[in-house]
Amino acid sequence: MEDAHLVRHYPHATLALVCDGMGGHDYGALAAHTACNSFAEFFEKERALADIPSRLKTALFHANDAVGEKLSSLGAYGGCTLLAVYVTEDVMWWVSVGDSPLVIWRAGRLLRLNEDHSMRDIYEKILVKDFGGSRSMLSQANALRSAVTGENMSLIDAPTTPYLLLPGDRILLASDGVDEILFTRPLRESVRRVFMQQGNQLAAELVEACRAMASPEADNVTVLTMDRACRN
């Protein structure tokens, strides 16, 4: 499996990561696991750095360097996406490179929070909206404009302002294998019901929903979820 993920719990906070490998199975998996572990190791070592956005972004650069060194030592090329989220009781920060989505379910709506660094939005605007092309033409839209490869990351999403969390929010980090069920319009009723059932095994049910589609072009699927408890 080319995906790697990690969850670390601290007093009053949680760090969660998802990395989706690219560049062939072996090197993609190596890049994803290297980035995931290197990021967490650096992030935890730099606890004295109170500025969470800077800490996340510096950990990303450290992970990128680690991936580059590992692949260079093998004479290989590969890389991965990286999505890291740091959640406290009331707010959330993130840093991301690539197309792994960070979404939140709030008040009956599913919202994507982080930027998509694939060609998807560009292809959709140019081919579908401007020139009336078919959505079937978007098959190559998952090509990445930025990734963790050891080279320069041309696009990084790292907000400096924390995202305020509300009671009942459901946070989801995933690899892009979930795109087909999460980003359809309108949202499938079966998927909507999964999100509305507080307390369910959200990650497991979403992975199962992806498997049930049995798409011949299905990608690996990794899903991490966090729920913010409702208050009475």
pLDDT digits (tens, 9 = 90+) for 90-114: 999 999 999 999 999 998 899 999 9
**Is 61 a residue whose pLDDT tops 90?**
yes
In a domain, 84, yes or no: yes
Query: What integer is the mean pLDDT of 143-160?
Result: 92
The C-alpha atoms of residue 212 and residue 227 are separated, in whole angstroms, by 24
Q: Cα-flanking dihedrals φ and ψ of residue 80, to 5°? A: -160, 165
**Is 216 a residue whose pLDDT tops 50?**
no
pLDDT confidence of residue 97:
97
In a domain, 232, yes or no: no
User: For position 108, which CATH number holds?
Assistant: 3.60.40.10
pLDDT digits (tens, 9 = 90+) for 167-208: 999 999 998 888 878 877 778 888 888 888 766 688 888 888
How crowded is the C-beta side of 99, counted as CA atoms within 13 Å?
19
In a domain, 49, yes or no: yes
Of the pLDDT bands very low, low, confident and very high (cuts 50, 70, 90), residue 232 is very low
* Owning domain of residue 10: 3-227
The C-alpha atoms of residue 172 and residue 154 are separated, in whole angstroms, by 25
Query: What integer is the mean pLDDT of 136-144?
Result: 58
The C-alpha atoms of residue 95 and residue 9 are separated, in whole angstroms, by 18
Is there a contact between 81 and 151 (Cβ–Cβ < 8 Å)? Answer: no
Task: Count up the domains in the chain and report the number.
Answer: 1
In the sheet that 223-227 helps form, which strands lie side by side, from edge to edge? 109-112, 102-106, 170-174, 223-227
Average pLDDT, the chain: 84
**Is 223 a residue whose pLDDT tops 60?**
yes
**Is 212 a residue whose pLDDT tops 90?**
no
The C-alpha atoms of residue 215 and residue 213 are separated, in whole angstroms, by 5
pLDDT confidence of residue 182:
83
The C-alpha atoms of residue 18 and residue 142 are separated, in whole angstroms, by 17
**Is 218 a residue whose pLDDT tops 70?**
no
In a domain, 95, yes or no: yes
In a domain, 223, yes or no: yes
pLDDT digits (tens, 9 = 90+) for 37-59: 999 999 999 876 679 999 999 99
pTM: 0.87
pLDDT confidence of residue 32:
95
- What's the Cα-to-Cα distance from 150 to each of 32, 68, 78, 221, rounded to whole Å? 12, 4, 9, 24
In a domain, 174, yes or no: yes
In a domain, 67, yes or no: yes
Query: What integer is the mean pLDDT of 145-171?
Result: 94
In a domain, 14, yes or no: yes
